[in-house]
Amino acid sequence: MAFDAAREEYQLLSIRYLRDHKLTDSYGMAREAAAFRRQFARNHDALPQTDQDRAFHLMAQAVTLIDNELPFVEAEDDAYALIQEAQGLLSESVSLDPGCFDAQRALTAQQSPTREAYYRYLKDGEAHTWEVCQDRAQEALKSSQMASDLEARLLLFPAYRWTAALASHALVCGRYSIARDAAERLLAQDPEDVADARFTAALAYAKLEDGEGFLSLRKRTRKAHNRPAPDAWASFAFMALSAKANDYTLAREVLHQILRIYPHAAYVLSQSSAVPEGIFARMAVEPYSNDELVLATSEALVLLQEGVDLKGYGTLGAFMLQDPLVRQKAEEDERELRAMLTDGPSPLGASSMPEGPDAFPQDDTDDWGLDGPSDLLGDWGQSRS
Amino acid sequence: MSTLTPRTPGGSPASPAAFQEELAWRVALHYKEAHEPMSDGAFSALLEAAQEDLGPYLTHPSDIAFAKLAPVLDSYRQPHPEDEFLSNEDYVAIIAKRRDQVLAAAERALKIDPQCTDALVVSTLLQEDEAFEVLEALIDLEAQQLEGQELQVPDSGSGWDDVFARPALRHKAAIAFMATEAAFYKRALATAGQLLDLLPNDELGMRHTQALAFARLEDEAGFDELDARFHRRGSAWTNLARTVMLFKLDRMSAARRALQGFLSLNEGAAYALLHPVYVEPYLPLRPAFVPGSFEEVTLAVREADPLVVDVPEFITWVANQPQVTEQAASFAQSRGYDF
């Protein structure tokens, strides 16, 4: 589902605005909604807002600069200037509202000399963040104003993002139990999983070689909104667990499934690049898009690159790259992508179209044999034998 | 001349001539089989004679094959301190040469006995394939070699006492090592665990392999149980594994204490961790080492590499602990190593 700072700010301010105008009839609502949209776009400062709202707005601007613009800036001077601007906005944000935890977190992320330092900050600050956010959410609910439920939910989002960041940083730092526990805490709090914590959880279970834990996670989360087929994170985790249980046939099936769900998948897998993390939250991408696979592959590198191997790809990386279908498709993808660069986009040929997520409905059918006996249980489900 | 049959066959892996000692035992036992009945005194005399000169007694094809390989495997396992002073080029050449010698000896052994387990195992290990492929090949090979039979714990209590079972035990140990290399940690745990059941005295050092796997899987209960099972006798492996595990569990004061334990146990431990050296692949077992030595800790650091790579800030943290870089530097200086 993913977070989007601008959209979230829009939602919060629209609630503020509609309450301010004390509307009740639907014609009035529609007219005022249009007015709100115009004002949001053209005269933002004049909208009714608290200091907390202003702080959020400044933070949203800052993280948009860092996450959406900075990756594309080439000149070092320009990058430096952009970072300075973002830091200015973030500093102003926290002085307006020290409880703007997204801004606090973003400032620290920018300034932390090491991953370890940022991890430590996230770990130490988690309880306080939740306390404050939950207080604010309670306040909103108690007011019983219009849309207070939605507002309360939005006010918890900074805490969700904090814990989600903790989970993903713990994973990268090699702290898998901590990553798993943080992700599971989020899932317990928010069964809708707006933070997509199940993605990080899947990777953590795979790193812990916990087949039982992974399958339990899948059973609990597979019927998520807009997710007709297994996502790439779950697929990587399942592929890894299968290979480690010496079931290469199953691992290969899952790998080939990824190729059928995601466009130009083979090319992405063969590149296995790391992309910068979003400072606000995981970057919002279209489900089952090429971008999503790029993101998932980057996060899954901790899983794919482990193990000693001759060329530095890791055990699972090498397994993927050696697969004949991956190699064949990667070559096809590369030709197609080059052609698109020179000739411009053209309709994808029938042979290169992925089947896409609808070919793998996971609501009705039992995807990956979850309800039956699994190769992943038995010996490998126990931690000691 | 001894009148008692030596009860426990020699050839402990710690011995520098482990394979050749084992060979002498095999030869003597085969000869005894063919010349029963034989008194204990006669067997002792036979064994001594075989240890002196195998020639007259070396008739069984499996022993003739093993004889091609045993001296080469013993030689490969010896430390080569002179390597440290070779140029990079010369070093690369000499390790390639050693590997070629092992491969050639294995080929000679297989010509005589195509089922020679040790020859098959080292040939597989020397394939230029990915760790997980070598692992798979070793697992398939084991299934073929065992043909559905299980290794049995003999009445005397240790599987190591049966010299003829040792090749299969070494094969299993090779699987445990490769599983760790391939980052298949539960496989490594399970295989090492089977060997610990077969070898209660842990002649093959599988508790070290289990310690690393438990640490990587953040299984503190398993780690502790293992530690207790071996009476909390630490080693470079268990101390390093414990430190990494506690770091991963974010128990930083305990990790600092564990690190101190690691640093104090082996000579040059700080240097070994901050300046990892190349360790030649095990063919199929760890090289001979003296407990507490620098050589031992270099092996532990090498085997722990897949774990440490997963914890990117670990080494930086180690280097920032008090006295660590000083210890490493002074060790390097004392040995004339680069730092």
What is the mean pLDDT of each successive set of 10 residues along chain B, which is 339 residues long? Answer: 51 83 95 91 92 91 96 92 86 94 97 97 93 95 88 77 94 97 97 95 96 98 97 94 98 98 96 92 91 94 95 97 96 89
| pLDDT at position A337 over 90 | no
Half-sphere exposure of residue B320, counting CA atoms within 13 Å on the CB side? 7
Contacts of A208 in chain B (CB under 8 A): 217-218
Q: How confident is the model at residue A224 (pLDDT cuts 50, 70, 90)?
A: confident
Nearest residue, CB atoms, B313 vs list A173, A246, A315 = A173
Nearest residue, CB atoms, A306 vs list B183, B189, B312 = B183
- Selection from B221, B212, B301, B315 nearest residue B265 by Cα: B301
CA of A177 to nearest chain B CA: how many angstroms apart?
Answer: 7
Torsion angle of C-alpha atoms A62, A66, A67, A68, degrees rounded to 10:
90
- Tell me if B250 and A178 make a contact (CB, 8 A cut-off): yes
Contacts of B182 in chain A (CB under 8 A): 307-308, 315
For residue B284, give every residue at least 6 positions away whose Cβ sits within 8 Å of its Cβ, in sequence order, or none: B118, B121, B122, B125, B170, B171, B173, B174, B177
| pLDDT at position A363 over 70 | no
Mean pLDDT of chain A: 88
Distances (CA, A) of B46 to A191, B10, B33, B34, B70: 75, 15, 12, 13, 20
Is residue A349 within 8 A of residue A214, CB to CB? The reply is no
DSSP A103-155: HHHHHHHHH-SSHHHHHHHHHHHHHHHHHHHHHHHHHHHHHT-TTHHHHHHHH
Nearest residue, CB atoms, A318 vs list B130, B184, B217 = B130
Residue matched to tokens 């699987």:
B175
Residue type, A107: L
Q: How confident is the model at residue A108 (pLDDT cuts 50, 70, 90)?
A: very high
Dihedral sign computed on CA atoms, order B212, B272, A114, A1 = negative
- Selection from A106, A116, A128 nearest residue A169 by Cα: A116
- Tell me if B306 and A115 make a contact (CB, 8 A cut-off): no
How many whole angstroms from its chain centre is CA A208?
21
DSSP B173-201: HHHHHHHHHTT-HHHHHHHHHHHHHH-TT
- Selection from B208, B218, B217 nearest residue B238 by Cα: B208
Work out the percent of chain A whose per-residue pLDDT is above 90.
Answer: 70
Distances (CA, A) of B105 to A241, A321, B48, B67: 38, 34, 26, 9
Q: Does A181 touch chain B (CB under 8 A)?
A: no
Q: Does B332 touch chain A (CB under 8 A)?
A: no
ipTM > 0.95 (yes/no): no
Q: How confident is the model at residue A33 (pLDDT cuts 50, 70, 90)?
A: confident
CA of B59 to nearest chain A CA: how many angstroms apart?
Answer: 40
The structure's pTM equals 0.92
CB atoms within 10 A of CB A233: 23
For residue B231, give every residue at least 6 positions away whose Cβ sits within 8 Å of its Cβ, in sequence order, or none: none
Q: How confident is the model at residue A136 (pLDDT cuts 50, 70, 90)?
A: very high
Q: How confident is the model at residue A375 (pLDDT cuts 50, 70, 90)?
A: very low
DSSP A322-338: H-HHHHHHHHHHHHHHH
Mean pLDDT across A302-315: 89
Is residue A219 within 8 A of residue A186, CB to CB? The reply is no
Q: How far apart are CA B118 and CA B170, in angstroms?
A: 8
Peptide bond before residue B284 is cis, with ω within 30 degrees of 0: yes
Least confident of A20-34, A36-50, B25-39: A20-34
Task: Enter the tokens of residue B281.
Answer: 């692949």
Q: How far apart are CA A3 and CA B289, in angstroms?
A: 56
Distances (CA, A) of A130 to A180, A189, A308: 18, 11, 40
Residue type, A114: T
Q: Exposed, middle or buried: residue B156 (CB in 10 Å: 0-12, 13-18, 19+)?
A: exposed
- Selection from B25, B14, B32, B68 nearest residue B50 by Cα: B25
Residue B321 DSSP code? S
Q: Does B193 touch chain A (CB under 8 A)?
A: yes
Interval A241-292: pLDDT, tens: 999 999 999 999 999 999 999 999 999 999 988 998 999 999 999 999 999 9
Distances (CA, A) of A121 to A54, A248, B54, B105: 25, 40, 68, 57
Nearest residue, CB atoms, B130 vs list A115, A116, A315 = A315
What's residue B84's pLDDT?
Answer: 78
For chains A and B, count residue pairs whose Cβ atoms are closer than 8 Å: 100
Residue type, B77: R
Q: How confident is the model at residue A46 (pLDDT cuts 50, 70, 90)?
A: confident
CA of B29 to nearest chain A CA: how many angstroms apart?
Answer: 35
Residue B231 DSSP code? T
Q: How far apart are CA B280 and CA B100, in angstroms?
A: 13
